[in-house]
Chains A and B, each alone.
Chain A
């Protein structure tokens, strides 16, 4: 099939993403940062769970490792916490590498377990890492966490300083704007890499291992190696996502990487449609932004009771709507949001090209590997 319409819509979306900061308020910028950071994590997880078939409930643990490695390697030593003071670019690379390394170290364990067994073993990882984060307070700052140095390249800082004032087309570019473009670049690269990986030789090997380890072995695929590489790649993605979360918060604390965070990653990829890179991105948009947007705007809904009056107040309603939305997608949409979009596109096929529904990610390519 032709990739042209998809590529064009991807390009349009990219241009929109580039232009958005010019018109958005801080609320939407901050939401966007969280969305892009979690999207990268979700893409990594969908490679592991959706493509390679290894269930992981421990993604937040790897994200935590990335976040803390970044914070520690780029931070300065103070009286309470130590730091290396490395350049942030190096810190970001280290975050990915160390997370990947831990992933590699964990993969022999992962290799012994399958499916839900593996999922629950990785659940344990979240608690173990959390325990370490709270107790190794010389490096992590303990329960309260530590602050994170702003990202900077060659003296240009992605914060409100250096340069203190920067405007593009008459719009002041604060730290949030600058981070937006950094995150967008990282997200595009990560999505592009993941799509290629998934469509390429490695991705096909992973999918074969997922479908049948025996058959994959018979075809000459090293099963253990394929599993390990999926774990390593996914952990590296989580590490980068963690470092980005650290930047988006401006600090790291163990609470950010709780079990809920792990589970949220899983919700993203299942809602989006397992194995689909674009689906993971859409799922991240949904899971990350919906609670934020509901929290911000639910008080505008007229039929809800005032907080404290005992009736159904906006915040409770928002939380329930979030839960119901998850249920509705899973009950009504086969293959998650990506599956629904695929069917919608198939139905719209006779009238091709530009006017088709927005399908999120830029390089949504080759999802025929199944």
Chain B
């Protein structure tokens, strides 16, 4: 029983980290309509900044630089590239982000080399025990931070002018613009928020139980895509639910791999999130909490 509980907790805490990334996808998509294929590089960038800076300026200042750096890069990508696209269409923007991803990821990979860069996180390899179940401290912290982050997001979107403006801009850009909402500002805020969330996720994905920063961390963004999609493209709460669902699925499929292998083949843990995503899309084409896409006549 405690084994099942441990796997569930593992899955949920990993899922919360995924949901940070998924929420980043959702926020960028709603604020600028961009499918951000470079999100993985930004996750990596945030973690990388912390890893190279923590020795000289200490861990917590390095975290601040990491969050700010990831946010700034996001804002810059939007201001310099996305807003200047020759064709402002979703497909074009997605491919543009692929180009950005190639450039960022190649440069980061070159800098990281074959080292496993450690973050110097103060929680190290410690664990927290609940009865006979143990969880890495980093994971428990991640869960806490994620809950706080989503609380802050909820406050921003429902209680502040900026957040309400962002929702208005997402719902109907031109009208919002006529009402005096500056779309450039809501877009920049969206990219900055996504960058911060990505960097936070990056830090938790590269500290214990993962050993440190390696280029493969960028791939974790792809694992968050099913979470984002099945939650609904434009919904932050959806991203949370999606993240939890995907985290749980992966952990359980992996944890019980030896029992499932005869039916599903080996390595099903990698595909399971996508299968869940396709099934959910079949039943609810706009995701669990996504708003129905309007059919314009």
Whether the complex brings A and B within 8 Å at their CB atoms is answered yes
Q: Is there an interface contact between A330 and B271, defined as CB atoms closer than 8 Å?
A: no
Q: Does A121 contact B (CB under 8 A)?
A: yes
Q: Which residues of B222-244 are within 8 A (CB) of A?
A: 222, 225-226, 229, 233
Q: Is there an interface contact between A131 and B267, defined as CB atoms closer than 8 Å?
A: yes
Q: With both chains docked as a complex, state the minimum distance between the C-beta of B76 and any C-beta of chain A, in angstroms.
A: 13
Give the contacting residue for B99; candidates A116, A324, A333; CB below 8 A: A324
Q: Which residues of A95-129 are within 8 A (CB) of B?
A: 109, 112-117, 119-121, 123-125, 127-128
Of B103, B277, B282, chain A has the most CB atoms within 10 Å of the CB of B103
Q: Which residues of B258-297 are within 8 A (CB) of A?
A: 265-268, 270-271, 274-275, 277-278, 281-282, 285-287, 293, 295-297
Give the contacting residue for B281; candidates A113, A132, A270, A331; CB below 8 A: A113
Q: Does B134 contact A (CB under 8 A)?
A: no
Q: Mark A171-185, 1 if CB is under 8 A from B, else 0.
A: 000000000000000
A113 to B286, CA, bound (A): 8
Q: Does A134 contact B (CB under 8 A)?
A: yes
Q: Is there an interface contact between B106 and A259, defined as CB atoms closer than 8 Å?
A: no
Of A116, A130, A312, chain B has the most CB atoms within 10 Å of the CB of A116
Q: Does A84 contact B (CB under 8 A)?
A: no
A330 to B94, CA, bound (A): 10
Q: Does A214 contact B (CB under 8 A)?
A: yes
Q: Which residues of B58-111 are within 8 A (CB) of A?
A: 81, 84-87, 89-92, 94-96, 98-103, 106-107, 110
Give the contacting residue for A123; candidates B92, B225, B287; CB below 8 A: B225
Q: Is there an interface contact between A131 and B233, defined as CB atoms closer than 8 Å?
A: no
A1 to B128, CA, bound (A): 75
Q: Does A326 contact B (CB under 8 A)?
A: yes
Q: With both chains docked as a complex, state the minimum distance between the C-beta of A235 and any C-beta of chain B, in angstroms.
A: 17
Q: Is there an interface contact between A109 and B282, defined as CB atoms closer than 8 Å?
A: yes
Assuming the contacts A128-B271, A267-B95, A267-B98, asked whether A117 and B286 have C-beta atoms less than 8 A apart, the reply is yes
A156 to B84, CA, bound (A): 54
Q: Does B203 contact A (CB under 8 A)?
A: no
Q: Does B35 contact A (CB under 8 A)?
A: yes
A residues near B222, Cβ cutoff 8 Å: 259
Q: Is there an interface contact between A127 and B91, defined as CB atoms closer than 8 Å?
A: no
Assuming the contacts A124-B226, A259-B222, asked whether A323 and B103 have C-beta atoms less than 8 A apart, the reply is yes
B residues near A320, Cβ cutoff 8 Å: 102-103, 106-107
A residues near B277, Cβ cutoff 8 Å: 120-121, 124
Residues of B within 8 A of A (CB-CB), count:
47
Of B81, B96, B99, chain A has the most CB atoms within 10 Å of the CB of B99
Q: With both chains docked as a complex, state the minimum distance between the C-beta of B218 and any C-beta of chain A, in angstroms.
A: 13
Give the contacting residue for A131; candidates B84, B89, B91, B270; CB below 8 A: B270
Q: Does A213 contact B (CB under 8 A)?
A: yes
Q: Does A327 contact B (CB under 8 A)?
A: yes
Give the contacting residue for A270; candidates B91, B265, B267, B282; CB below 8 A: B91
Q: Which residues of A341-355 are within 8 A (CB) of B?
A: none
A270 to B100, CA, bound (A): 15
Q: Is there an interface contact between B95 and A270, defined as CB atoms closer than 8 Å?
A: yes
Give the contacting residue for A55; candidates B81, B91, B106, B229; CB below 8 A: B91
Q: Is there an interface contact between A326 and B285, defined as CB atoms closer than 8 Å?
A: no
Quick one: closest A residue to B99, CB to CB?
A326
Q: Does A335 contact B (CB under 8 A)?
A: yes
A335 to B86, CA, bound (A): 8
Q: Does A369 contact B (CB under 8 A)?
A: no
A residues near B86, Cβ cutoff 8 Å: 330-335
A276 to B100, CA, bound (A): 24
Q: Is there an interface contact between A330 and B267, defined as CB atoms closer than 8 Å?
A: no
Q: With both chains docked as a complex, state the minimum distance between the C-beta of B277 and any C-beta of chain A, in angstroms.
A: 5
Quick one: closest A residue to B271, CB to CB?
A131
Q: Is there an interface contact between B285 and A117, defined as CB atoms closer than 8 Å?
A: yes
Q: Does A256 contact B (CB under 8 A)?
A: no
The 5 closest A-B pairs by CB, nearest first: A323-B102, A326-B99, A135-B265, A124-B274, A323-B103
Please report B residues at the A interface, Cβ cutoff 8 Å. 35, 37, 81, 84-87, 89-92, 94-96, 98-103, 106-107, 110, 222, 225-226, 229, 233, 265-268, 270-271, 274-275, 277-278, 281-282, 285-287, 293, 295-297
Please report A residues at the B interface, Cβ cutoff 8 Å. 49, 55, 109, 112-117, 119-121, 123-125, 127-128, 130-132, 134-135, 212-215, 259, 263, 266-267, 270-271, 274, 312-313, 316, 319-320, 322-327, 330-336
Known interface pairs A117-B293, A320-B106; 10 further A-B residue pairs with C-beta atoms within 8 A, sorted by A's residue number: A127-B270, A134-B265, A270-B92, A312-B110, A319-B106, A323-B100, A324-B99, A327-B103, A330-B96, A334-B87
Interchain residue pairs with CB less than 8 A apart (26): A109-B282, A114-B293, A116-B35, A116-B90, A117-B285, A117-B293, A120-B277, A123-B274, A124-B226, A127-B271, A131-B265, A131-B270, A134-B266, A135-B266, A267-B95, A267-B98, A270-B92, A320-B106, A320-B107, A322-B102, A323-B102, A326-B102, A330-B86, A330-B96, A330-B99, A331-B81
